[in-house]
Structure 1
Amino acid sequence: MIYLDNAATTRTAPEVVEAMLPYFTEQYGNPSAIYSLGSAGKKAINEARRTIAAAIGAKPEEIYFTAGGTEADNWALKAAAECCAGKGRHIITTKIEHHAVLHACGYLEKNGYEVTYLDVDRDGILDPESLKEAIRPDTVLISVMFANNEIGTIQPIREIGAIARERGILFHTDAVQAFGQVPIDVEEMHIDMLSASAHKLNGPKGTGMLYIRSGLKIRSFIHGGAQEKGVRAGTENVPGIVGFAAAVRRALSRMEEKAGRERELRDYLIRRIEGEIPYCRLNGHREKRLPGNVNISFRFIEGESLLIMLDMRGVCASSGSACTSGSLDPSHVLLAIGLEHEEAHGSLRMTLSEENTQEELDEVVGHLAEIVQRLRDMSPLYEDFMKSRRDRT
């Protein structure tokens, strides 16, 4: 098997599993209990909080554990909108956000809020000037993802954060894809809230976090207990939180080396595909993108057929977000950067890890070239296109 879907989820690292195991079998006490078996779990949670806070330049008390990035996004948007409702009901985001943000915004629109969805350019980058123009006196929240989960484009977060801070507007960023992959400093980047998830950086599924800057009065999202300082009820997932912290330590210790390796593989894969398979298009910014992200559209084919045929050859990839894999609609991200429906339907996302090899990518390119040509040979659109080319010559 060749695994190229690390944006969907990553393999839990062996050292992360090892760190978690004692909290399943030996230190299994409820961390809210006062006896020693429980206090060991509480101590582990506090240590994990310090580790994760340090990774983004935050304070431990600003880190709140969740069940993942989707919960963190929902909590940030809904709670921030509610706490600021007295100042205004206008929210700004972009058209290429993850559905955890877009659907939360849709919910808020149904409850009396107004949302502006900003355009991005052909590379998926938000122009800070368009953000400035969209700000109104009643704007209370800006939410812009750090890096896009489909095309890998990294936004000018520091500039966006500075605009929000200067105007006195809360700034949230969905950093699920970026956390542990690229350097993040919440103070330097003027970030008020940040969402992240463990399973995107070789940690366990079902664990995430929301950074909330000190001083923000954000309401509870889940009620029913005093956990997480009374704002996120529910018995803490101690093994998951411990695993999250272990994954963060691992990611930080190798970030530069890992990113360099993935960029080398990414650029090699892009060069081979563009050089050997005609009528394809790289989606997202060529340089300002996540180290391991390759998103390419192939004209005249259906991406779903391509994925199935790759799977039959042992290659795991995707056509976009794992959260929308069952949808027949083309990617909202690809449409937002200007692709036609036919081009968007022919997209393939391959997201690498440092464990991939050049030999694997050579094999993948060979499969791609053969499968794409086979699918095009069955396509009336491709036949018409080639006929029109012959007629012109």
Structure 2
Amino acid sequence: MNVYCDNAATTALDRDVLEAMMPYLTRYYGNPSSSHFYGQTVREAIYKARETVANHLNVTPGQTFFTSGATEALNIILSGAIETFGVQHVITSPIEHKAVLEPLNQLVKAKKITLSLVNIDEKGNIDFNHLERLLRLPLKSLVSLAHGNNEIGNLNDLTHIGALSQAFKALFLADTTQTIGKLPIDLQTIPVDFVVGSAHKFHGPKGVGFAYIRNPRGFKALTFGGAQESGIRPGTENTPNIIGMAKALEISYRDLRINQKHIAFVKNRLIARLPSTVMGDIKFNGESDSLEKSLYTILNVAFPNLNSSESLVSQLNLYGVAVSGGSACSNLHTSHSHVLTALQTNLELENVRFSFSKYNTPADVDYILQSLKNIYQNDRQVAAKSLVHA
């Protein structure tokens, strides 16, 4: 049996999404910038897709811009805000995605901004008193905080952060990569200036995302060479993927309540049964075991070490269970998760992220639990034999 439980990294493409994309991979292949029939047909489809994305966020199509994904969208916004709105000071947290932290570090090196990290507690919750003190600095500020953390699932109150930012005339960028399509987001009621999303996080195709910019007039581009996306993101549009993203978002919000209830049940099943399955102490990292304070799609667990010194993630992989030790980006490197480091989690333990989608089932959870039980039982038996022979 194979179980895919790494949906915070990427999700499976919905079959209805693939069906919506296919005509734009085969029949409707014109360049949307062309003036002939082939181009006009594709241009109209892109506009309808833009309307779909904008409608689900309750914004206008003119505030919505297509990108290659959330990473590019974040870079466009962070650099553009400095050039367009004169941002001098950015406030973020130490547990943001590296698609936020690394561009900001580059901007600091270029001496374009000063950077402040808001304090967090041992669970990863923001210290709002400290945030307010940082906002009182006499600089044009931008606050960049995630709606839902990609490793521990912690949720931030966008309305509260946005209102606080507005009170001090600061801009607010909400990284909604993990929450778009999973939580309702009405940008007419949430005081936020920028949000981003990636289609592959909500069962759309990889390589496409979007940026929402509340006030796009005169927004400075990061790249140049074309008038597409109002010049903010020039280059021929990835039409099939844009169509797929719009369809994926439509399906996600159409089925939101059903999927949320189902996935939360799956997550709770794992939370409830883990302690009796693993013989040893476990700990839930961040607020990931709380459905009120974290995303219903993410659970981050600190497990006891294996005597064999083997990676638990690798051992689960041998059983056909796909999980991660952190974000997909951090897994490309051997360094520890910067998120868990900031939480002062014991990095010597086996820290594993389980992330769920609508395709996960209670049977998946039962197989994960049985796999964990087998892994720890086998590990203890091997360790006991080693002691006898010693």
The TM-score, its normalising length taken from structure 2, stands at 0.92
5+ residue gaps, structure 2, are none
SS of 2:173's equivalent in the other structure is strand
Q: More displaced, 369-378 or 4-13?
A: 369-378
Amino acid at match of 2:220: R
- Judged with a 3 Å threshold, the aligned counterparts in structure 2 of structure 1 residues 170 and 303 are, in CA distance, closer, same or farther, namely farther
Structure 1 contact 194–211 (Cα < 8 Å) conserved: yes
Structure 1 contact 299–342 (Cα < 8 Å) conserved: no
User: What are the within-5 Å matches in structure 2 for residues 1-393 of structure 1?
Assistant: 1-85=2-86, 89-112=88-111, 113-135=113-135, 136-214=137-215, 217-277=218-278, 278-285=280-287, 286-287=290-291, 288-301=293-306, 305-343=311-349, 346-375=350-379
Structure 1 contact 92–139 (Cα < 8 Å) conserved: no
Structure 1 residue ranges (4+ consecutive) displaced by more than 6 angstroms after TM superposition = 376-380
> Within 2, Cα distance between the matches of 1:326 and 1:177?
19
> Within 1, Cα distance between the matches of 2:172 and 2:378?
47
SS of 1:144's equivalent in the other structure is strand
Query: What is the CA-CA distance between 1:341 and the residue it aligns to?
Result: 2.6
> Within 1, Cα distance between the matches of 2:310 and 2:71?
25
SS of 2:150's equivalent in the other structure is coil
Amino acid at match of 1:369: K
Q: More displaced, 204-213 or 369-378?
A: 369-378
- Judged with a 3 Å threshold, the aligned counterparts in structure 2 of structure 1 residues 217 and 284 are, in CA distance, closer, same or farther, namely farther
> Within 2, Cα distance between the matches of 1:76 and 1:376?
51
Deviations 1:103-143 (A, max 9, x none): 01100110112101122222222132221011111142110
Amino acid at match of 1:300: N
Structure 2 contact 104–115 (Cα < 8 Å) conserved: yes
The share of aligned pairs that are identical, in percent, is 36
Query: What is the CA-CA distance between 1:379 and the residue it aligns to?
Result: 8.1
> Within 1, Cα distance between the matches of 2:374 and 2:159?
43
Amino acid at match of 1:99: K
Query: What is the CA-CA distance between 1:376 and the residue it aligns to?
Result: 6.4
> Within 2, Cα distance between the matches of 1:364 and 1:21?
35
> Within 1, Cα distance between the matches of 2:191 and 2:118?
20
Query: What is the CA-CA distance between 1:304 and the residue it aligns to?
Result: 6.9
Query: What is the CA-CA distance between 1:359 and the residue it aligns to?
Result: 1.6
> Within 2, Cα distance between the matches of 1:304 and 1:7?
24
SS of 1:341's equivalent in the other structure is coil
SS of 1:322's equivalent in the other structure is coil
Deviations 1:166-224 (A, max 9, x none): 21111001111000001112221211000100000000000000000035542112210
Deviations 1:352-375 (A, max 9, x none): 112211122111111112224545
- Judged with a 3 Å threshold, the aligned counterparts in structure 2 of structure 1 residues 349 and 245 are, in CA distance, closer, same or farther, namely same
Amino acid at match of 1:199: H
SS of 2:332's equivalent in the other structure is coil
Deviations 1:299-354 (A, max 9, x none): 324997111111111111111100111222221111222313323xx111111112
Structure 1 contact 123–284 (Cα < 8 Å) conserved: yes
Structure 1 contact 306–372 (Cα < 8 Å) conserved: no
Aligned residues: 377
